[in-house]
Structure 1
Amino acid sequence: MKLTVYLAGEIHTDWREEIRSAVGDLDVTFTGPVTDHAASDDCGAIILGSEEKKFWHDRKGAGLNAIRTRKAIADADVIVVRFGDKYRQWNAAFDAGQAVALGKSLVVMHGPDHAHALKEVDAAAQAVCETPRQVAEILRYVLKGDVPA
């Protein structure tokens, strides 16, 4: 078996790389959003033309990013959504909702401080965890049926 895993959510820490390293030789292909914050924010204005109003600047970027995100989520077997501590990640919650609407398997990762705020998102997930290592172990179990020693 092979999995395609979309890694959604916060872009300010190296959690994606931690998961990639921890899965080792598992047959997993990872996809995700553009994690260069400036590129993600400004892509619409750079490609389609600048805007005087921030709303339209952001709207253009959001539209282009949505094309990438929709395709990647639709093609993924598992969606992992990481909610970080520093910023409100409305986009991450939206990605989780898209995953659920498409019937995708959802793994949510966040610290205990977000448990109450994310209770509805957590309830829709097949697994809720706190660390990249746990995500890797979930993927190992799904692919191999192995549990950590």
Structure 2
Amino acid sequence: MTLKVYLSGEIHSDWRERITVGARDLDVSFDAPVTDHGASDDCGVAILGAEDQKFWHDHKGAKLNAIRTRRGIEQADVVVVRFGDKYKQWNAAFDAGYASALGKALVVLHPPEHQHALKEVDAAALAVAEEPEQVVEILRYVLTGALPDRAARAAE
């Protein structure tokens, strides 16, 4: 059984790569939004034509990106949503809510200092992780029932 995982959230760090590399020995397929910030912002006007007002420029892009995002979340078995430090990820919060409303298994990933701000999102999640490697261990456990090596964990 291949576990389908959608990786949503911030695009300014290597968290997706850390998860995909860490899970390379697992039967997992990954999907994600477009992580090229410029392409994501400009897809609407690049495909459907220029807009004079920034609101409509962003509106077109958001709608095209929503096609990909909705499909990815709807087809996923597990949705991982990462909240990072660099920007407020309002879209990530929306993705977490959408996944929760669909009854998807939701894993939230963020640093400890975001706990208060994300308490409602965390409450909807089946797991809240601080590091991408914890997400890998969650996926490993779900697929195999194996726990991480405790000796290795103690050394960390």
Q: TM-score, normalised by structure 1?
A: 0.99
Aligned to 1:148: 148
Q: Hey, which bits of structure 1, 4+ residues long, moved more than 2 A? A: none
Give the Cα–Cα distance (whole angstroms) in 2 for the partners of residues 40 and 47 of structure 1: 12
Give the Cα–Cα distance (whole angstroms) in 2 for the partners of residues 75 and 38 of structure 1: 26
Structure 1 residue 2: Cα displacement: 1.8
Aligned to 1:77: 77
Aligned to 1:90: 90
Paired-residue identity, %? 71
- CA-to-partner distance for each residue in 1:97-136, whole Å, 9 max, x for gaps? 0000100000000001100000000000000010010000
Secondary structure of the equivalent of 1:98?
helix
Output the amino acid matched with 1:85: D
User: What pairs with 1:45-84 in structure 2 (closer than 5 Å)?
Assistant: 45-84=45-84
Flag structure 1 segments of 5+ consecutive residues without an equivalent: none
Aligned to 2:42: 42
Secondary structure of the equivalent of 2:79?
strand
Output the amino acid matched with 1:44: G
Flag structure 2 segments of 5+ consecutive residues without an equivalent: 150-156
Aligned to 1:4: 4
User: What pairs with 1:107-146 in structure 2 (closer than 5 Å)?
Assistant: 107-146=107-146
Give the Cα–Cα distance (whole angstroms) in 2 for the partners of residues 124 and 75 of structure 1: 19
Structure 1 residue 25: Cα displacement: 1.0
Secondary structure of the equivalent of 2:84?
coil
Give the Cα–Cα distance (whole angstroms) in 2 for the partners of residues 33 and 100 of structure 1: 18
Q: TM-score, normalised by structure 2?
A: 0.95
Q: Does 1:17 align with 2:29?
A: no
Aligned pairs, number: 149
Give the Cα–Cα distance (whole angstroms) in 2 for the partners of residues 72 and 121 of structure 1: 19
Give the Cα–Cα distance (whole angstroms) in 2 for the partners of residues 20 and 116 of structure 1: 28
